[in-house]
Structure 1
């Protein structure tokens, strides 16, 4: 990869407290590559359908080409910099159409690559990657509410579920950008 670097700030829509990531990628990656980078920085498992939409651009970018409309684009062939060209541009990314995890990506900066710096990388963020298959952001917030309140009717059930999943030490506030950057390096280093 070469050329410009895009710095995005990505927010998980309606997450309270906020869950966000700031990461950098080469501008000439495909949307499929961007999907995999998002999966890594959000600590998702890549088990569901997904799509990108860009305000002002017709159609969606989705791997579900069997259901595609005429304006839809193949993420393996569509290059990020072909559709996103200016700072402050917005991309919407939906993951898991059933739970509908909606992410808003804002292009904060277009940069020159720094010598010795690895791309993609995660610069910073807040909040652990949410648990999948809990009913989207609202289900996730409900699970966290039950987890922290022993008087909640669902507290015992949620605690048992966390134990079965071997996640008793799950901390919804934990996020380590350097750890995520190391994962990205493992995945993308030549």
Structure 2
């Protein structure tokens, strides 16, 4: 039986693992979401889970958008992507408001990708871990586990973020003071920036407020 057939037609809780592609050490979240959530709601949940600020464009796709396409019968297949309805411009663009998490994962055979900030290109791999029936008291979104805080906004993608983290970790680094001031401005705190910190309880409080 296909893993999506069980519970078809009723709301389920999908446990998904979301990792920031190519992050080392790995930045990941294990989060439980209602299968009926539309992708614009999944977007909001992922923003909270990774500490993003929803300051940039985003999209959902069923396969790695940076893997070269192979022609089928001499033609390249249409790339489907789900975006906010106001951002849909190309023939393959679909409104994220009209697609559920269940549907996305079905189309992606249990996996999908979420890209946030097309400049820094924070690419998240989404994988279905398990499903269970939803009960009346189940929250729409719940962070179960994870590792490390999400990168700072506008830090230049993973290469830029890693350079900033190297500078912050070394007081003798020529850019230490500059990057420390920048991190304090971004986070609103003068406390030393700890890339390994993740407050799951705080994330779940924020998710409860969001949903």
TM-score surpassing 0.5?
A: yes
Q: 1:98 aligns with which of 106, 119, 128?
A: 119
Decide whether the 8 Å contact of 1:89 with 1:106 is kept in 2. Answer: yes
SS in 1 for 2:124: strand
Q: Distance in 2 between matches of 1:163 and 1:3?
A: 42
Q: Under a length normalisation based on structure 1, what TM-score does the superposition of the two structures give?
A: 0.89
1:117 to partner: Cα distance: 3.3
Query: Alpha-carbon deviations, 1:47-72, whole Å to 9, x = none?
Result: 00000110399410012655532122
- Unaligned segments of structure 1, at least 5 residues: none
Match runs of 1:89-128 below 5 Å = 89-114=110-135, 116-128=137-149
Match of 2:41 in 1: 33
SS in 2 for 1:76: helix
Decide whether the 8 Å contact of 2:50 with 2:150 is kept in 1. Answer: yes
Number of residue pairs aligned between Structure 1 and Structure 2: 187
Question: What is the alpha-carbon root mean square deviation over aligned residues?
Answer: 2.2
- Asked if residue 183 in structure 1 is aligned to residue 206 in structure 2, the reply is yes
Quickly say closer, same or farther: Cα 1:57–1:42, change in 2 above 3 A.
farther
SS in 1 for 2:123: strand
Q: Distance in 2 between matches of 1:81 and 1:7?
A: 11
- Asked if residue 153 in structure 1 is aligned to residue 177 in structure 2, the reply is no
- Asked if residue 48 in structure 1 is aligned to residue 56 in structure 2, the reply is yes
Q: Distance in 2 between matches of 1:88 and 1:66?
A: 26
Q: Under a length normalisation based on structure 2, what TM-score does the superposition of the two structures give?
A: 0.81
Q: Distance in 1 between matches of 2:105 and 2:78?
A: 10
Q: Distance in 2 between matches of 1:100 and 1:87?
A: 20
Decide whether the 8 Å contact of 1:88 with 1:106 is kept in 2. Answer: no
Q: Distance in 1 between matches of 2:114 and 2:24?
A: 18
1:167 to partner: Cα distance: 2.8
- Unaligned segments of structure 2, at least 5 residues: 1-9, 64-76
Bigger drift between 44-53 and 63-72 goes to 63-72
Match of 1:168 in 2: 190
Decide whether the 8 Å contact of 2:47 with 2:54 is kept in 1. Answer: yes
Task: Please identify the structure whose Cα radius of gyration is greater.
Answer: 2
